[in-house]
Every structure is written in structure tokens, then in C-alpha cells.
Structure 1
């Protein structure tokens, strides 16, 4: 869907992007990760043709990105942009017409989306009279109403309570199911775990990680198991560092150290009853922190 090759961008003496290359497959949710100031927003603005790169190429559907492609893209920026004195209805009609919808189609789509997100009763309210969450819903509708092929969401859950965050999450998944490609930029790693198929991380202007969620997690597996033992028949080796002991259940982590999981399990059974034997797989939050710290020391 989107191919980015050797992208570079500088602002005077600040390097924002350095030789960044990405492939975003069609029909996936692609997580764009990185700490503040990493270069994510610059990359997003280049894709949206708000600014131009110094060098490198961006292709969409196999062709160099052009002004005509802007209607294929929906962009929800982190800094929201609604006209506060306009009503919800007028705002959405205005944005939908800007994005190429004809009058009748525009009105029908706005009506359908207001009902879908349960804000139909707010259609004649001015944006300045809405809560932050309600305004966020209006902004989301304005982003997706023209059914873009590529949807770029920058912190889409910001300002939502858990109930409305769940509604937006389900809408994103429904759009993906219909074939929309989604780029999700967020610091909420639980959202990445839940939604993303593929992730890339940018830090200090460079890409430092790229792959499917499974590939990334597998590459950071510590080859370590969380274990709980009870009814001990003998003392545990001192090198097995006990995390805690509750009512006769001993909990600790143990590395494979060249053994297979079955060999380790057999060894553990010689010491007592195994009530938990679970491989420790790092979370995306742990990977994020590890990668940022590692890159910071380079």
C-alpha cells in the first residue's frame, strides 16, 4: 500500500529523519512507534504532503505520491482541528464536501455516522459546546467519512473514556476488515498489542525496529520461564532466585540455558509439583523501553 525509501528531512541543524525506509502492507494496522521528538510526526506530514522530504521517495499503490492521492488518505492529527463556532452537522458536511463527496451522499453519510457513534442528538450543537470526547468523535468522523484507502491516526484514543475508546477501537477494526490500511501512531502500548499487525519504531530520526508483532516479540524472547512449584520434595538450588513464596507455592523465573522446555519441565518435576510453567514473552511496552534505552546509549 505504502512504500517509503531512504527518506531524509532536516530543519536547519536538526535532523528529523535519516534514511528511513518502510513498507506498509495493504489492509493491515501498522503501528508507528517512538518517543517524543523521534521523527514520527515529520514522517506523517510528509505522507500527507504537508511538508516535503529533502530526499527519498514515498509511493502509494506503486506510484510516486502526488497531490491527487490526498483523497485516498484520511488523517487524524494529534492536535485536533475543528471550527469551534460551527455546528457538528455543518462541520461534517463541510469536511465531507472538501473530500469530494456530493451533496446528497455527504448528508447521508454524515447522518449515518452520527447515528453510529451515538451523537445524532448533538448535530446542531456548536463544537465549543461539546466535551473533549464528543469533539474527538466528530474529528474521527471527519477523518473517515470519505472512506480513505489509507488512514493515519495520531493518538486516536486521546481524550476518550474507556467506553468511547472501545467504540473507536471497534470502528478502526471494522475499517480494517473492509480493506482500509491504517497507520497508528501512539504511545499506548496496550493499543499496539491489541490492534497492530506490524510495527516500526523510530528513535533519534532513524528506524530502529521493524516487523510483525510476532516477529518483534520472538526476537526479544529471553528464553526464560515463569515457574510456580509446591509440595517441595527437596531444597531448590540457590541459583534459582525465588521471587516470592505464598502458602507453600514458590514462584521464580528460570532460563532455559540450552535445555529444551521439556527438559526443563522434567527437571522441575524432580523438586515438586509444577502448578505454573509459562514462557515469559516481553510486552510491547518492555520492548519499547528496551529499544529506546539501547539506542540512547549508542
Structure 2
């Protein structure tokens, strides 16, 4: 699982400013190049070949819940240089299966909440690679290349999607080695939630920047948060390659329930995955460093609960 790795996509570490290349299995890189290239997209109009290859991995997560999977934990930690001091329990032997390790929790001190007393300060939803765009149109032009990507397609509801027509987008991409619990970027009250069935295609940049509609094809859960500072905020957790389940916390599925900024609102069960957060037009000003890197189509390595941006009154840009 952690052997024969090669350099992958170039990202920038937000804390250090250093460029980093992701590690990725050689077989996975080959599979992605095969699945998401213009020639195959033209030949395989029905996506049957992609579907067939995808199904080979679709239920792979089941083996990670078996006791014998525990032997993968230490090699995985070593390969990805995971700092176990950030997690509880910190002892790899305390996890009974790889699945238990995959959904590990942070220690309270490892990811401090940015501006805990300031409701106008939004925070990152996950440990991940992040891009942000001030409008859906801009995200479509630079990063999300699916032929039919829109908020309406993302939640399969044209009426419910209206608040985010050409609103701002934050796209959080998680790798298998990441902490796979996700948190609310703002405080608010749950208005509605829904679960949408679908595929589990990879959310690797090669897939996202292809013409295949990855984000609107994959299984996902969504909820809308009514925030006094940010207006209606859409949170969509999207499954990906080998993810067993996309889970929302009970509160996120309870209309009228209050959600605190930084509160855990769900988790992914094994594999790479993605979160998309949409804001109404003019309601958020993303941090400038995130904006500048995103305009260059460079993902930023960020930590959950770190700064994402600030609330802005409708019609204002600062």
C-alpha cells in the first residue's frame, strides 16, 4: 500500500512557503493518466471503461476493517511521515485496524481554532490541499473543469442552489494520509441537509481538471448553514476513491440545530476525498495568500481550523 511511490502534484505549504510534491503509488498515477486523458474521454463517451476500473477499488475499504490490516499502520506512518503526537491515541499499536487508524482524532492542542471569539473569521474545514475562488465561474475556468459543474448540479436542486449562483467557492482536497474528519468553517444553524448517491472517482487534480464531472458524479452529503455573519453557507462532503462512507454528524442532519465554528460535522471512512464550501456572493473575503496561489492553480497545504477568510457585507469586496 505504501511502496513504489513517486513524486506527484506540486503544492505549497502555507506555514513554510515551501513547495512540496505529493507521494503517490506508481500504479495509481498510471491509472489516473489512463482514466482522465482527452483521448479516453473522447472514445469512452459512456464512461463504461472508467466505471469498470473504478469498481475494482470500489469496496477495497472493507479489508481495512479486518484485524490483519493493523500491520499496515506503522509502514503507512513511516512512509508519509505522520506526526502521531498530533493524534490521540498517539501509539500506533492502540489502533485495532487500519480503519480505526484512518478515522483517528486530533489532540485538542494540535489544531487550535483561529479567532475563537470572532464570528466574522472563517476557518478551514479540513487538513488538506486548498484552492479558493471568488466566483463559481472563476473556479470553473481555473480549477474545476468538469463540463457541467455548477452548484445546482452539485446538490441536484436548481431552486435550493440559487443563493450560491456565482458565489465564492473553497475546495478542500484530502489525501489518504490526512486527518479525515471535517469541521464547520463558520457558526450557524442547520437549515436543511441531503444525501446524494453516486460514484467514488478520484479527486486527484488530474481528475478534477479533466472534463469529467467528478464532483457532481461522486456520492456526497450536503447541508446548508444559516450564518448571521456569512449568510447561507453550503457544505458538501464528497466521497472519492476507495471511500467507504461519507458521514455527517447527527447535528448536521438536524434542521434548527446550532453548529459552532470549528465544530466537527462529519468524517470520511477511508480513501481520498473532498469538501466544497460555497458562500453567497459578496459574503466572504478569502485570505489573500490563498487567493494568490489559487489564481495560479496551485493548491495550498492548510491545517483544519486555520484562517480561511473574513465575513463581508453583501456587495462589498473587503
Same fold? TM cut 0.5: no
Larger Rg: 1
Higher normalized helix content (fraction of residues)? 1
